[in-house]
Amino acid sequence: MFAFLWSLGAFIVALGILVAVHEWGHYYVARRCGVKVERFSIGFGKPLWRRMGKDGTEYVIAAIPLGGYVRMLDERVDQVKSEDRHRAFNNQSLGKRMAIIAAGPGVNFIFAILALWLMYAIGIQTVKPVVGDIQPDSIAARANLESGDTITSIGSKSTSDWESVNLELVSYIGEDSLPVEIRKSSGALRQLTFDTRDWQFDPDRESALSSLGFTPFRPDPTLAIGMVGDGSPASQADIQQGDRIVAVDGVKVEQWQDVVSVIQNRPGEALQLELERANTMVTTQVTIGERESVDGLQGYLGVSPEFEPWPEGYVFTHHYGPVEGLMKAADKTWRLVTLSIQMIGKLITGDVSVKSLSGPISIAQGAGVSAGYGLVYFLSFLALISVNLGIINLLPLPMLDGGHLMYYLIELITGKPVPEKVQEWGFRIGGMLLFTIMSIAIFNDISRIT
C-alpha cells in the first residue's frame, strides 16, 4: 500500500509540475502578445482552489490531475465586448497565434534542459559501461563481445555510462546491424558489428542488453543479506539485514548462486537456514514463497545480497559547472528529442510494437521509482517526460497543439483559414485517434501488472 501511495504522490507531483510548465508557456506568450487569458487551470473538473488575479485571470487547481488548460478570450466561443476585440485570440496575427500555441511544447523542452542542468549541478552517480556475462550463441557473442570490454560508443554517439548505452541501443531497434566500439582491457579500441536482423526485444520482459545477450558488470554477491523485503518469507522468518547464510538444510553453501538455485527450485517448501549473526550462529525455519515466472513456478525468499566493492574507476559522478552543465543538459535534451521522434517513426513503420506504449500507470510507477532513488533521479525522470510531453503535443493531430499549428501552416500557405467545418471534422478524427492510442497504452499498463 505504501508503494502505491508513494507512486501516486510522485505521479501527481510530476504531472502537476509538467502541466503547469506547459500551460505557463501558452499563458506567458499569450499575455506578451496582448491576449486576455480568462482561466489558467491545472487539472480538470471541479475546482479545489481558485483565485482571481489582478490581471483578470482566474487561477484554478482542479480535482482531476490529468492535464490542464489556458482559456483565452476568443470570439468563436465568447461574446466579446467591442473594446476587448483586440485582446481576443482569434483576432491576433497568424504569427502571434502560432507563437502562443508553440510556446507550450517549447517550454517543455526548456524545462527539460533546466532540470538536467540542475541534475548535473548536484551531481549524479553512474557506472562505467563494462560488460559482465555474455550469453553463449547470442547476438553479442556472435559479434565477439567479451566480458570485461568497455562500450565506448554506439554508432556515432559516445556512451559514458549504462544509461547512454541503453538509449543508443533502443535507437537501433528495427535496424539490420548495430555498430559498437569497445575498449579492451588492454586499452585497444575495436569496432564490432552486431547482426540485429533477428533481434527480438520485448521491453516488458527484459532489457535491451539482455535481449542482445549480455549484462553489465557488477561486483560478485556475497553470502551476507543486504536487503530484506517487507512482508517477504525472509522477514516472516526473522531473517535480518547483515545475516550471513552458512548452510541450507544442512548443506554448506559457498556462493550466492548456490542459495538462489535451492530457493528457486523448492517453491512452497519449508527449509532450515543456518545464519551467522554478529559472530553467533542462528538457525531458522522459512517457508519459501511461490511466484509465476516465464519458466514456471519458482520459489523466492525476498532478500538481496551485499556485493563486493566496485573496482576503482568503475563508479563516477557526472558533475559539471554552470556553463558545461548547461551545454551537457542541452545536448542530452536534444538527444531525447531525436530519440523520441525516432521511436514514433518506428511505431508507425511497425519496427516497434504498440505493446511498448506506456500510459499513466507506467508513468506513475516510473515517478515513484525515480523519486525513491533521490532528487537527481527524479529530475532526470521529469526531463524525460517533459520532452515526451512536448513531442506528443507537437504531433499534427487536431486536439493537440501540433494540430492547431498544422491548420495555421495551411493558412500561411493558402492565405486563408481552414474552414470551420474541416476543422471540426479534424477535431473529431483527432479525438478518436487520441482515445485509441490512450486506450492501447492503458491496456498495456494493465497487462503489465496482471
Residue where the block lists cell 561486483: 219
Q: Distance (Å, rounded) from C-alpha 427 to C-alpha 430?
A: 5
Q: What is the C-alpha separation between 216 and 212, in angstroms, rounded?
A: 12
Task: Indicate the burial class of 45 (C-beta count within 10 angstroms; 0-12, 13-18, 19 or more).
Answer: exposed
Q: How far apart are CA 306 and CA 320, in angstroms?
A: 31
Q: Which of 23, 38, 83, 276 is catalytic?
A: 23
Distance CA(220)–CA(305), nearest Å, equals 10
Cα distance between the two ends of the chain: 17
Q: Report the DSSP beta bridge partners of residue 189.
A: 183
What is d(CA 196, CA 178) in angstroms, rounded to the nearest whole number?
7
Cell digits of residue 108: 517543455
Q: CB 406: neighbour CB atoms within 10 A? A: 19
Whole-number Cα distances in Å, 402 to 43, 381, 399, 410: 21, 24, 8, 12
Give the helix ranges, DSSP H, for 33-93: none
How many CB atoms are closer than 10 A to CB 66?
12
Distance of CA 290 to the CA centre of its chain: 30
The verdict on whether 23 is a catalytic residue reads yes
Of all helices (H) and strands (E), which one includes residue 225? Answer: strand 221-228
Question: CA torsion sign, 194 to 195 to 196 to 200?
Answer: negative
The span from the CA of 395 to the CA of 373, in Å, is: 32
Distance CA 299, CA 86 (A): 71
**What are the phi and psi torsion angles at 291 (to 5°)?**
-155, 150
Residue 116 C-beta-side C-alpha neighbours within 13 Å: 25
Grouping H, G, I as helix, E, B as strand and the rest as coil, residue 7 is helix
Nearest to 390 by CA among 435, 355, 341: 341
- Positions annotated as catalytic residues are 23
